[in-house]
Structure 1
């Protein structure tokens, strides 16, 4: 059994009398410790996959299994615990608490989980050792995204889910953030799932899952993922 399994997952949203098929039977697997890239154009279903995987939304039909747990069968209380303990989220817009320092933002996340990592070591690992006392407004976009990654990592999650994590960043800063995510996966064995519309990023993944019109159009395994430093776009 794979670490993450999507088996014929469908998600239909109802808008009045209109039914919108966000996913039309998506199936794929991701192994433990893999860096997976889910790629495809806007509206393909990438965010829906991430939301279902993170327990922020529920599937209409199909099976979602993470580390042996049937996420699609969880009730609201179980889903809350799953999101709290097992999942780290990194969004395009950093979602930091503005009146808390970088360290306090990370500390907030560490307080709600079972086995958090050391806050200061986590901030050091993302290159923010000298910015811990700064508030988000005093940090660049790239630094704020690093705080968001540190916050997600401090929870010591099973899976790190990243929704267009470089979407609000310039080219060089975005590269630095992707390198941080790639290094985190390699050094700490965290399963990382990144969704992106930028197909140039696909060589950095161990596994590339292409989404088109609510289905998986292609899955590629890269035996030798390319370091982000060597990718240009």
Structure 2
């Protein structure tokens, strides 16, 4: 069985005038379908570049990247747009909700652009917001807004859920609720979830832990002793 996500000898170089910045150098790793993977590393280590390449928002300089047997790194611009639209759900540190749409309308927005969307109201119920569907973002707490953002990503029925510091703008207790939701989504729906964080304390919640430092993978390890979010302290 080949891996669901695969990075092979990935290199990313940015050029600014005469200066070359090596954001990634010889990055290799695999993630299996249905895994909860945490990519951890200091700020500037290259985590977000990995996520942006996997999400089809950035291109690589050398190497190849696969998702579910498709070589994303070889896709045309048009096909990359379709890939971002249909195959990947994104959750960022800031939820980027449309302020003049209700929670339900925000989730429906995502389902309008994809092939086999899930029911928006049902997804909001799953993330614990059945009573808040008619509320606007300004009427929701930070954690509720982030749950709407996760619901919006899930409504696309994506192959992969990519989360970049999803609790970065939240307080401790709310952050825990959001991480619990992501862990539950992975377990109950068999969703492949990838979370990027600088917080080493979050690694026990993952099946697979990938550590990035200075643009390269310093370790990949499987976690045999998965800890529930409720039991993690930081």
- Equivalence for 2:118: 117
- Equivalence for 2:91: 90
Matched positions, count? 233
Structure-2 separation of matches of 1:15 and 1:129 = 48
User: Is 1:27 the equivalent of 2:14?
Assistant: no
Deviation at 1:190, TM superposition (A): 0.4
Structure-2 separation of matches of 1:83 and 1:224 = 33
Deviation at 1:158, TM superposition (A): 0.4
> Structure 2 regions of 5+ residues with no counterpart?
none
- Equivalence for 2:41: 40
Structure-1 separation of matches of 2:208 and 2:105 = 34
Structure-2 separation of matches of 1:25 and 1:69 = 20
Structure-1 separation of matches of 2:172 and 2:51 = 24
**Over 4 Å off, 4+ runs:** none
Structure-2 separation of matches of 1:61 and 1:136 = 41
Structure-2 separation of matches of 1:64 and 1:33 = 18
Deviation at 1:224, TM superposition (A): 3.1
Deviation at 1:16, TM superposition (A): 1.4
- Equivalence for 1:65: 66
Structure-1 separation of matches of 2:49 and 2:181 = 25
What value does the CA root-mean-square deviation take over the aligned residues? 0.5
- Equivalence for 1:2: 3
> Structure 1 regions of 5+ residues with no counterpart?
none
Structure-1 separation of matches of 2:136 and 2:61 = 41
Structure-2 separation of matches of 1:103 and 1:16 = 46
User: Is 1:156 the equivalent of 2:157?
Assistant: yes
* Corresponding residue SS for 2:132: coil
* Corresponding residue SS for 1:13: strand
- Equivalence for 1:218: 219
Structure 1 residues 48-92: Cα deviation after superposition (integer angstroms, max 9, x where no partner): 000000000000100101000000100100001101110000000
- Equivalence for 1:195: 196
Deviation at 1:15, TM superposition (A): 1.2
- Equivalence for 1:229: 230
